[in-house]
């Protein structure tokens, strides 16, 4: 008799999180991978590249409303180079480096398994600069990087694929110090625990 009671209690304990997930599919911790278009701009000059990264978050769903916190680490292939800057044959390149983001999001469930959301938060980009001097030129080659603080705002849609997996599409704009900003359109695939 005791083993049947223990089996029933264990079964109920394991079923409870699944029931909670079914009633609020956008609740709980999540992890995702992202990839998409990235346009890095600085004082009128820009370059397009591919953004890629990973993100984590935790969402709370109450009825049709969803509130969440999230973080992301990403990088980009966006790079802009100019030749003959200080002397014939030299090269100056600026590259958008790693980007760290932490923020929040608020959304509304608009259909079964579909969430529309807006997001905002703090972002920090590492801008990389490299100069390759021309042979016999007046300057020496160098590399430098600088961390730039900024803010990010965006909006997106997320759709559940079954109980735990989801896909998403998102536009976001980041504005950093020293005239640097970026526009991104990314897609993601994630898993909610």
The tokens for 152 are 């990010």
CATH number for 159: 2.40.160.20
- pLDDT mean over 107-136: 92
Structural domain boundaries enclosing 96: 25-192
> At 18, phi and psi to the nearest 5?
-65, -40
- Average the pLDDT over 35-62 and give the result: 92
* Domain assignment present for 14: no
Q: Is residue 3 part of a domain?
A: no
- Residue 16, domain member (yes or no): no
> What pTM was computed for the model?
0.79
Residue 133 within any structural domain of the chain: yes
Burial 178-191 (b: 16+ CB within 10 A, else e): eebbbbbebebebe
Q: Indicate whether 185 belongs to any domain.
A: yes
Q: How far is CA 12 from the centre of its chain?
A: 37
Q: Under 8 Å CB-to-CB from 10, ≥6 apart: which residues?
A: none
Sign of CA pseudo-dihedral 80, 177, 117, 189: positive
Q: Residue 9: inside a domain, yes or no?
A: no
- pLDDT at residue 22, as a whole number: 54
**Is the model more confident about 78 or about 155?**
155
Q: Could you give the number of structural domains in the chain? A: 1
Which tokens hold the place of 141? Answer: 């080659």
Quick check: helix, strand or coil at residue 158?
A: strand
Cβ(103)–Cβ(119) below 8 Å: yes
Average pLDDT over residues 79-103: 86
d(CA 122, CA 9): 45
- What is the pLDDT, as a whole number, of residue 14? 39
**pLDDT, tens digit (0-9, with 9 covering 90-100), for 14-32:** 333 333 345 789 999 999 9
């Amino acid at each position: 008799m005791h083993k049947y009671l223990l089996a029933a209690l264990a079964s109920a304990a394991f079923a409870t999180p699944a029931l909670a997930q079914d009633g609020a599919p956008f609740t709980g911790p999540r992890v995702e991978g992202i990839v998409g278009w990235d346009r890095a701009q600085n004082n009128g000059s820009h370059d397009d590249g591919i953004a890629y990264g990973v993100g984590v978050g935790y969402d709370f769903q109450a009825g049709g409303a969803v509130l969440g916190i999230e973080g992301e680490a990403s990088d980009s292939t966006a790079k802009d180079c100019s030749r003959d800057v200080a002397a014939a044959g030299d090269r100056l390149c600026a590259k958008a480096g790693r980007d760290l983001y932490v923020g929040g999001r608020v959304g509304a469930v608009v259909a079964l398994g579909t969430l529309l959301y807006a997001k905002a938060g703090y972002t920090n980009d590492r801008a990389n600069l490299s100069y390759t001097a021309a042979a016999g030129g007046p300057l020496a080659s160098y590399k430098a990087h600088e961390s730039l603080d900024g803010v990010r705002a965006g909006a997106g849609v997320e759709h559940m694929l079954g109980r735990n997996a989801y896909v998403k599409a998102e536009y976001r704009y980041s504005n950093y110090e020293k005239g640097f900003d970026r526009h991104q359109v990314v897609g993601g695939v994630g898993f909610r625990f």
